[in-house]
Amino acid sequence: MAKKISCVGAIVLVAVFFVGSAYTLVTPQWVYQVSLQDEPLGFVGDLDEYNAIVKDIQTRAETQWECDLVMNERISASKVRMWSPRFSSPTISAGIEAAVTYKTKGWAIVINRDIAAIVDKEQTATDLLEEVKAHYIRDNKNCSLLSVGLREDVSIESVAITPEALSDKEDVFSMLVCGQAENKTYVVRKGDSLSGISRSHNVPISVLQQANSIKGDIIQAGQVLNLQSSKTLLHVETVEEVSTSETIPYSVQYKVNPDNSVRGDVVNVSGVNGRRSVTYKVVKVNGQEIRRQRTKSAVVKEPQTKVIFTGIGYWSARPTGMFRFPVNGGRISSYLGEPRPNGRRHTGVDIPNPRGTPIYAAASGTVTTKARVSGYGRYIVIQHSDGYSTRYAHLQSFANSIHVGSTVVRGQIIGRVGNTGHSSGSHLHWEVRRNGQVLNPLDFFRK
Ligand SMILES: [Zn+2]
């Protein structure tokens, strides 16, 4: 009985084996179809193979771009049944690589709501802003930093971008510090000057000349100028406390020498500069000082006034040497007696000097005229003793102490050289008269 049973079992086993084999041959297999955006690419045997293909492609791209990436396209593997499938990993891999695009997470530096640059890491963006601030901080023992900040509203925000949109840290730093180039042009109008355009667009003349191949300052109406301007994106405001020591210049006082036998100037007391220690609060924007406020000031040493005794002893005895030259330096551009355009002859000498050059009283006396007229412009007449008078014309300004009737001493500043009245160019017109008669001022300076 037992033998019969085992025989039946063997037959059943053999039958199962045959039926199983036939089933495998005629029944479809489970495989995975890989698709990109629902477009079939091919088949793989199992999910591990599919995952390996995708991971390999992504790893290679991340190595190339040096950042974490996300694929934009949808790649999927779906289970399907198939008779004798043909597997095609290399084709699938090539198909994905050819079509796939990526996005990554970037960190945008946002200035006043505009994205200025995108970098790979949040830390990179934070570091950049700190480095831009540090760029404008001075390291100086006489200077301590009170505060540093950005004038703009700046934030760092995460954004999804293509890896090509990421910027290098160095490039972003130089853009933040040097500004962003702007393609701006200007069409020259009638009456424009290069210096005027330079001022109104805040571009140095040399930059305009170079960018537009201009020699000198000749421009023509209708000409299109490249302004080469750049827009500063960040304004770093620093507030510093600066301690410094400053000179207090001594003043000069002229006095008539009581000994009227003395000629010329004698220093009675020599001048010594004083010193003060000063503390300023200095506000700068991108390293440019925009405001300075004195917060502390203490005199360390008082200056000593220089006293000059001016000698008038030789006045009437010997005219030569009685006058001090009315300006320090300068040449004579027009001599006494030279014909003038109006047909008359020159009544004095012209001494060109820059506007604002101090004019000194040639000798002590009394101011008899301080006026402004069309010919002389602003002018002063000083009456000296013995009928002599001196006249100073075309002044830019009068010294505050000068009034009709005021007494001046030799060497006192009476005004500043200018170009007022009938004058071409900044110069002092100087006359010497005696009892109304015109004399040659240079006669008083001959040996
Ligand atoms: Zn003159």
Over 90: is that where the pLDDT of 429 sits?
A: yes
Q: How far apart are CA 168 and CA 156, in angstroms?
A: 16
Mean pLDDT for the chain overall: 86
pLDDT for res 67 = 79
Task: State the average pLDDT over residues 206-223.
Answer: 85
pLDDT for res 329 = 72
In three-state secondary structure terms, 59 is helix
Confidence of residue 200 (pLDDT cuts 50, 70, 90): confident
Tally the C-alpha atoms within 13 A of residue 361's C-alpha that lie toward its C-beta.
29
Q: Is 12 exposed, middle or buried, given 0-12, 13-18 or 19+ CB atoms closer than 10 A? A: exposed
Question: Angle at CA 425, nearest 5°, toward 421 and 429?
Answer: 60
The CA 322 to ligand 1 mean position distance, Å, reads 22
DSSP helix, strand, coil percent of the chain (3-state; round to 5): 25, 40, 35
pLDDT for res 84 = 83
CB 109 within 8 A of CB 115: yes
Over 60: is that where the pLDDT of 312 sits?
A: no
Q: How far apart are CA 383 and CA 105, in angstroms?
A: 87
Over 60: is that where the pLDDT of 311 sits?
A: no
The residue ranking higher by pLDDT, 228 or 78, is: 78
Percent of the chain beyond pLDDT 70? 89
The CA 399 to ligand 1 mean position distance, Å, reads 21
CB 43 within 8 A of CB 87: yes
* Annotated domain spans of the chain: 26-100, 106-179, 181-231, 237-309, 314-445
Helices H, strands E: what count in the chain? 7, 27
The CA 348 to ligand 1 mean position distance, Å, reads 6
From 329, 335, 337, select the one nearest 360 (Cα to Cα): 329
pLDDT for res 319 = 42
Classified by CATH at the fold level, domain 237-309 comes out as Resuscitation-promoting factor rpfb fold (2.20.230)
The CA 398 to ligand 1 mean position distance, Å, reads 18
Over 70: is that where the pLDDT of 148 sits?
A: yes
Over 70: is that where the pLDDT of 19 sits?
A: no
The CA 396 to ligand 1 mean position distance, Å, reads 15
Over 80: is that where the pLDDT of 406 sits?
A: yes
pLDDT for res 400 = 92
The CA 252 to ligand 1 mean position distance, Å, reads 30
The CA 321 to ligand 1 mean position distance, Å, reads 22
Q: Phi and psi (nearest 5°) for 430?
A: -125, 130
In three-state secondary structure terms, 260 is coil
Task: State the average pLDDT over residues 278-291.
Answer: 92
The CA 430 to ligand 1 mean position distance, Å, reads 7
The CA 392 to ligand 1 mean position distance, Å, reads 9
pLDDT for res 318 = 39
Q: How far apart are CA 158 and CA 119, in angstroms?
A: 10
Task: State the average pLDDT over residues 197-209.
Answer: 84
- How far does Cα 190 stand from its chain's mean position? 30
Over 50: is that where the pLDDT of 275 sits?
A: yes
Q: pLDDT digit string (tens) for 25-71?
A: 667 889 999 999 989 999 999 999 999 999 999 999 888 888 788 88
Over 70: is that where the pLDDT of 248 sits?
A: yes
The CA 53 to ligand 1 mean position distance, Å, reads 97
The CA 338 to ligand 1 mean position distance, Å, reads 10
Classified by CATH at the fold level, domain 314-445 comes out as Glucose Permease (Domain IIA) (2.70.70)
The CA 35 to ligand 1 mean position distance, Å, reads 98
- Other CB atoms within a 10 A radius of the CB of residue 383 amount to 14
Q: How far apart are CA 257 and CA 409, in angstroms?
A: 10
Over 70: is that where the pLDDT of 8 sits?
A: no
The CA 347 to ligand 1 mean position distance, Å, reads 7
The CA 49 to ligand 1 mean position distance, Å, reads 103
The CA 123 to ligand 1 mean position distance, Å, reads 72
Over 90: is that where the pLDDT of 240 sits?
A: yes
From 48, 137, 60, select the one nearest 94 (Cα to Cα): 60
Confidence of residue 256 (pLDDT cuts 50, 70, 90): low
Confidence of residue 272 (pLDDT cuts 50, 70, 90): very high
Q: Where does 181-231 sit in CATH, by number?
A: 3.10.350.10
Over 60: is that where the pLDDT of 317 sits?
A: no
E strand or H helix at 92: helix 89-99
The CA 350 to ligand 1 mean position distance, Å, reads 5
The CA 346 to ligand 1 mean position distance, Å, reads 6
Residue 398 Cα distances to 42, 208, 223, angstroms? 98, 40, 45
The CA 335 to ligand 1 mean position distance, Å, reads 8
pLDDT for res 28 = 85
Q: Is 392 exposed, middle or buried, given 0-12, 13-18 or 19+ CB atoms closer than 10 A? A: buried
Which of 48-52, 179-183, 323-327 tops mean pLDDT?
A: 48-52
The CA 345 to ligand 1 mean position distance, Å, reads 10
The CA 254 to ligand 1 mean position distance, Å, reads 28
From 413, 404, 363, 402, select the one nearest 385 (Cα to Cα): 363
Q: How far apart are CA 17 and CA 420, in angstroms?
A: 126
pLDDT for res 284 = 93
Q: What is the largest CA-CA distance in the chain?
A: 173
The CA 377 to ligand 1 mean position distance, Å, reads 11
Residue 139 Cα distances to 176, 245, 357, angstroms? 21, 18, 39
The CA 60 to ligand 1 mean position distance, Å, reads 87
Q: Are 237-309 and 314-445 in the same CATH fold?
A: no
CB 150 within 8 A of CB 182: no
The CA 362 to ligand 1 mean position distance, Å, reads 17
The CA 266 to ligand 1 mean position distance, Å, reads 31
The CA 359 to ligand 1 mean position distance, Å, reads 15
